[in-house]
Each structure stands twice: as C-alpha cells, then as structure tokens.
Structure 1
Amino acid sequence: MKIKFLLTLLVVLVSYTASYASFPVKRTVTTATEITTGDTSTTEILTPIASAVGDNLVIGILLWFFLGMLAGHRWYYGKPILWNIVFILTAGGLGVWWIIDLINMITGRF
C-alpha cells in the first residue's frame, strides 16, 4: 500500500512539474517614473522586482529565518501552493532549497 501511495505521489509531482514548465509566463512589465529636480529631469524604469525589494525583503527574510522550514516566506511571496507543500514535506529540500531561497531573496530574483 505504501509503494502504491509513493508511486502515485511521484506521478502527480512529475505531471505537475511537466505541466507547469510547459506554460511559461513572460514577465515584461515595466513602469516609467519621471523625477523632476530643479532644472533636470530623469526617468527611472522600475521593474516588479525593484518595486518588491524594500520592506518586503526584510519581512521575507524574517519569515525565512523564523518560519523557513514551514515555507512562511514562500506563502508570503505567493509561490504555488503545491510547491509550498512539497517544501514543507521535504523540510526545505533538507535545507538546500531553504538556503537557495535566501540567496534569491537577497539578489531580488525570488
């Protein structure tokens, strides 16, 4: 019975990964903000990544530190539910995904 359950779980995870990878989402949203200071005018391009960095990064790192193995930071950033559950069941990929998430959060690619 355990083997059937494990094989079923494996098939579900593999099929979910294949279907998720076959529909990539292109993120090309940019917004321009014009800043006028005195006699000069500059335009900054803000990407969604740049706008997500700031207070959200501090909160994300605190959640990563205190609730990291329970995927607290992943729930906060709105990652896919199934991957969050897999993250919890594997204890953050035995700590490997947990460290990778920290690196991605700091570099702004999370």
Structure 2
Amino acid sequence: MKIKLLLSLFVVFLMCANSYASFPVKRTVSNVSDSEIVSDTNEVLTPIVSSVAEKNLVVGVLLWFFLGGLAAHRWYYGKPVGWNILFILTLGGLGVWWIIDLINMLSGKF
C-alpha cells in the first residue's frame, strides 16, 4: 500500500514539474519602437527570435505507427520527458492518448 502511494505521489510530482514547460511560448512584438535598436550608423536592427525547425510529418506518422508504444513520435517532436515516460507507462493512455496524438499530428497542432 505504501509503495502505491509513493509511486502515485512521484507521478503527480513529475506531472506538476513538467507541466510548467509543456507549452510553447511565442514572442510577439506589438510596438516596433520598443524593440528597435539604433546603432551608431543609423541602421535599425530588429531582435532575432529563434524558431524551431518544422519536423517532417511523414517521419512523425511512421514513428507513431511503428514505435508509438515507446512514444517515439513524442520524442521526435521534442515533447517533455516526464509526459513521454507517462505515455510509455500507461501504454499511450490505453490507446486513447495514442490516437489523439495522431489526430493532433495530422491537424498540425502537435
């Protein structure tokens, strides 16, 4: 009984710790004058915002189909480690989470 309680608390801790970084943060510039940097040569420099390269959908779907139980598609797309481990331990949410991942990949929301 104690082991089940400790494992449950551990899983809850992992979910809480990883949930803070599980969503992408997009930076937008609403006022150009605040983000412009003027150098000595009167050139206007804009800040560089790094972007993540788009992953190939075909590779993601193939990983989902062949190695979906090991969360290979989630590792490929760079999802948080804790959620990937939870995916593996619950067998993809008994298949439900696995199907939702396919729908999100095909709709471009993954």
Question: TM bucket by the smaller chain?
Answer: 0.5 to 0.7
> Greater strand percent: which structure?
1
Report the equivalent of 1:39.
Answer: none
> Greater helix percent: which structure?
1
Q: Considering only CA atoms, is the larger Rg found in Structure 1 or Structure 2?
A: 2
Dislocated runs of 4+, deviation >4 Å: none
- Which structure 1 residue ranges, 5 or more long, are not aligned? 30-47
Are 1:57 and 2:57 matched, yes or no?
A: yes
Q: Percent identity?
A: 57
List per-residue Cα deviations over 1:59-82 (Å, max 9, x = no partner). 000000000011000011111111
Could you tell me the TM-score, scaled by structure 1's length?
Answer: 0.65
Larger RCO: Structure 1 or Structure 2 (Cα < 8 Å, ≥ 6 residues apart)? Answer: 2
Aligned residues between the structures: 87
- Which structure 2 residue ranges, 5 or more long, are not aligned? 29-50
Structure 1 vs Structure 2 CA RMSD: 2.7
Could you tell me the TM-score, scaled by structure 2's length?
Answer: 0.65
